[in-house]
Structure 1
Amino acid sequence: MSIRVITLPFNRLKVAGFAVLFVVLSALVPLTIQQELNGKADQLWNALLNPWIIFSALALLAVYYLSDALRLWFTLRALGQHQHLRTMFPLVFINILFSNITPMATGGGVVQVWFLHRRGIHIGAATAATTLRTLLASLMIFLPAPFLMVGIDHLVDNPAISTWGPWMGLFAALYVAFFFVVLLRLRWFMHAGATILAILRRTHLINPAREHRWRFRLRREIIRFDYSFRAFFKAGRTDRLAALISTATFLVSLFSFPALLMWGLGYPVDYPLILALMLVNTFIMYFAPTPGAAGIAEGVFAILFSTLAGSGELLILVLGWRFLTVHLGMLIGVPITLYALGRKG
C-alpha cells in the first residue's frame, strides 16, 4: 500500500520570526532579575557546577527524554501501530523544538504527525496517537491544578494566582471538554470541513474535482482517527497502563528539575510543594499565546518561587530550569530536524 507523504504546512519566515520572538521573550525575565544579582552570579553557578549536581542532572535528563519517547511509543502500540523504539527519540527533540517556536505549542504535534506519516502511519492514526499522548498528560495536569490553586496556602496567598485561578479552572474545563467533543462528535468536524470546502468551491478558490478529492481524504482520515482513538480504549491493558505510567514518569521528571537546582544551591527542598508549584506553572503555560510560553513561563515561575529563594538564586533557578527542560532539547532538536527534513521519504 502506498502512502502519499504530506509536506509541512509551515512558512519559513514565520517559523524564523517565532524563533526570534521566543529568544527575546525568554531573555526578558532573567535580564530583569539580573539587575538584583549584585555580582553573585559566579558564586551561584559554581555551586551548581559540581560533579554530583551534573551527574544528577544528566540522570534526570535521561529519565525525562526516555519517558517522553516511551509515552508516545506505548500509545502507538495500543493503537496497533508498531514502530521501533529508536524512531521515537528524534520525535522527542523535534517536538521540543517546534513546540517552543510556535504559539501555544501547536507546531510540535503537526511535525510529529508528519514524521510518523513518513514512517508509514496514516495521518488519521498518527493524529490520534499524538492527540492521545497530549490528552493523557493534559488530564494529569488539568484535573489537579484547580484544586492545588485553592488548596495550597503558598498559592492561595499569592494575589496573582488567586485572581486568575477561577479563570484558569474554566479554561481547563473547556480544554478537556474539547477533547471529549473530538472523541464523541467527530461528525461535526467532518461536516464543518465539508462546508468549508464547499465555500471554497463556490468562491472559485478550488474546482469541483479538487473539492471532491479533498472531501474524500478528509472523511477517510477522520474515520481513521476515530477508529484509532477508540482502539486505544479497547487495546490490551499492558500498553495502556505503560502509556499512563510513562506519562506520569515524564511529568514527575519534568517537575523535578527545580528541586534538583534548589538542592544544588543549598536550599531545603520541600519536594511535594515543588511538584505542586510546577504542575500549576505548566498548567498556566498551556494558555500562554507566546511561542513556547516564553516570557510568561519565566514570569510565572518567578512569582511562584519568589518566597522560596532569594532574588539571585531565583535567576539561576529560572535559567537552569528553562535550559534543562527546553533550551537543551531545542539545541539537540535543530540538527535532528535538519537531518529529518533532508532525508527522502
Structure 2
Amino acid sequence: MSKVYKRFIGLILLVVIISGIVIYTTVDINTLKNLNRFQPWSIVLAVLAVGLGLFFDGSRLMHMVKMSNEKITLYQAVQVVFGNYFLALLTPGATGGAVAQLMFLRHAGVPAGKATVLVIVRTLLSIFFLVLCMPLIFLHDNGIVPGISNQTLMAITLTAFVVIIAIVVGARQGSLDYFVIRFTRRMHNDRRRKIFAFYRDTKCAIGLLSKAPWKMLWVFVESGLNLLCIYAIVPCLMLGLGVTDADWYTIMGRMIFLNMLLYFTPTPGGSGVAEGGFVYLFSESVPAGTVGIIAVCWRMVAEYIPFLIGLYYTLTVFGRDFLNRQLNK
C-alpha cells in the first residue's frame, strides 16, 4: 500500500476516533432534546461563511501575486488554497500546507523564489492579524486559560508583538544579519545553508510587504476577513441550536485564540487539540450535551470538506506518483 493511502487511512481513523471520543464524552440526557431544535439552515449558513472566507483567501493570494509582478487565474488560486488544506492535514504541524502552496504556485508559473516569498507573506499576515486581536480578547474575556492571568497573557502578547516588529525592522535594515551569522556559526553546513535560505526568503517577504504599503494593507484586511469568516462557522451552528443571547464577542475571541494555538500544535491539522480546546472553551456557551457535536461539525465544515476538495485538485494536477514522492521526503 502506498504511503499516500496509508496517510489518508490513518487520518480518517484519527478523525473518526477523536470525533467519537469527543461526542461520547460530551453527550448527556439533554442532548437529543436540544438537537431536536436544530435548524438545518444553519449548516447552509456555515458553508456560506467558509466559502466567503475561502474567497477572501484566494483574492488576497491573487493580489499578492500581482504585487510580485506575476499573474495567476482565479482557478489556480483556488487550487493553491485547497491544496494547502489537503497536505496540512496529512502532515504533523501542518507543515505540508506550505509545500502544497509552493507546488501549486510553481505549477501556475510563479518562479520558485517568488512562490516561497508569497507563502511566507501569507503566513505572516495571518499570524500578525491574530496577534493584533489578542489584546482585545484578553481585555474582554477573563480567565480564558486556567492558572494564567490575563495580565500575564497580555504581557506575553505584547512581547511577541514587539519581537515581531523588531525582527521585521532588523531584517529590513540589515541589522539582523550579524545575529543570524553569529547564531549559525557552529552549525553544520547543510543546516546553516537552510537557515540562510529561510532568512533570505523572509527578508524578501518583508520587502514585498513594504513595497506597496497601501496595497498590502488591503491584503491584510482580506487576511482578517478570511479568518473571521471561517471562525464564524461556530456562531452559525449555535444560531441553528437557538442560541441567540450569547456574547458573540467572547465566542469569536475564543475562536481566534484557539486557532492561534493551532498554528503551533504538532498533530496533523491540530487534530485532537482543536476538538479538546473547543470543548473546554465552549462547553458553557452552547445547549447542554451539544458541545462535542458542534466541535465535530465545525471541524467538518472548516477543515475536512476543504481537505477532500484539496485531495481532488492535488491528484488531478500532479497525480498519485508525485504525491508519493512528496510524502516520502
TM-score, length-scaled by structure 2: 0.79
Matched length: 316
Q: Evaluate the alpha carbon distance shift between residue 89 and residue 341 of structure 1 in structure 2; reply closer, same or farther with a 3 A threshold.
A: same
Following superposition, the deviation at residue 139 of structure 1 comes to: 0.5
Give, in whole Å, the separation in 2 of the partners of 1:33 and 1:343. 34
Give, in whole Å, the separation in 2 of the partners of 1:63 and 1:248. 12
Counterpart in the other structure of 2:18:
28
Give, in whole Å, the separation in 2 of the partners of 1:117 and 1:98. 16
**TM alignment of 1:61-76, pairs within 5 A:** 61-76=50-65
87-96 or 41-50: bigger deviation? 41-50
303-312 or 129-138: bigger deviation? 303-312
In the alignment, is residue 287 of structure 1 matched against residue 264 of structure 2? Answer: yes
Q: Evaluate the alpha carbon distance shift between residue 120 and residue 188 of structure 1 in structure 2; reply closer, same or farther with a 3 A threshold.
A: farther
Q: Evaluate the alpha carbon distance shift between residue 218 and residue 274 of structure 1 in structure 2; reply closer, same or farther with a 3 A threshold.
A: closer
35-44 or 70-79: bigger deviation? 35-44
**TM alignment of 1:88-107, pairs within 5 A:** 88-107=77-96
What secondary structure, in the 3-state scheme, does the structure 1 residue paired with 2:232 have? helix
What secondary structure, in the 3-state scheme, does the structure 2 residue paired with 1:135 have? helix
Does the CA-based 8 Å contact 2:53-2:230 persist in structure 1? Answer: yes
Does the CA-based 8 Å contact 2:231-2:256 persist in structure 1? Answer: yes
Q: Evaluate the alpha carbon distance shift between residue 156 and residue 198 of structure 1 in structure 2; reply closer, same or farther with a 3 A threshold.
A: closer
Counterpart in the other structure of 2:234:
258
**TM alignment of 1:85-164, pairs within 5 A:** 85-145=74-134, 148-149=137-138, 151-153=139-141, 155-156=142-143, 158-159=145-146, 162=149
Q: Evaluate the alpha carbon distance shift between residue 144 and residue 15 of structure 1 in structure 2; reply closer, same or farther with a 3 A threshold.
A: farther
Does the CA-based 8 Å contact 1:75-1:232 persist in structure 2? Answer: no
Identity percentage over the alignment? 25
139-148 or 171-180: bigger deviation? 171-180
RMSD value, Cα: 3.9
Counterpart in the other structure of 1:244:
220
Give, in whole Å, the separation in 2 of the partners of 1:168 and 1:18. 37
Unaligned runs of 5+ in 1: 1-11, 201-214
What secondary structure, in the 3-state scheme, does the structure 1 residue paired with 2:72 have? coil
Q: Evaluate the alpha carbon distance shift between residue 17 and residue 86 of structure 1 in structure 2; reply closer, same or farther with a 3 A threshold.
A: closer
Q: Evaluate the alpha carbon distance shift between residue 171 and residue 309 of structure 1 in structure 2; reply closer, same or farther with a 3 A threshold.
A: farther
Does the CA-based 8 Å contact 1:26-1:295 persist in structure 2? Answer: no
- In the TM superposition, what whole-angstrom CA distance separates every residue of 1:120-173 from its partner, at most 9, and x where no partner exists? 222221111111111111011023325524x234x4165266599479749955
**TM alignment of 1:1-345, pairs within 5 A:** 13=3, 16-17=6-7, 20=10, 23-24=13-14, 27-28=17-18, 30-38=20-28, 47-48=37-38, 50=40, 52-145=41-134, 148-149=137-138, 151-153=139-141, 155-156=142-143, 158-159=145-146, 162=149, 165=153, 169=157, 172=160, 176=164, 180=168, 184=174, 185=176, 198=189, 226-227=203-204, 229-235=206-212, 237=214, 239-268=215-244, 269-342=246-319
Following superposition, the deviation at residue 55 of structure 1 comes to: 3.4
Following superposition, the deviation at residue 298 of structure 1 comes to: 0.7
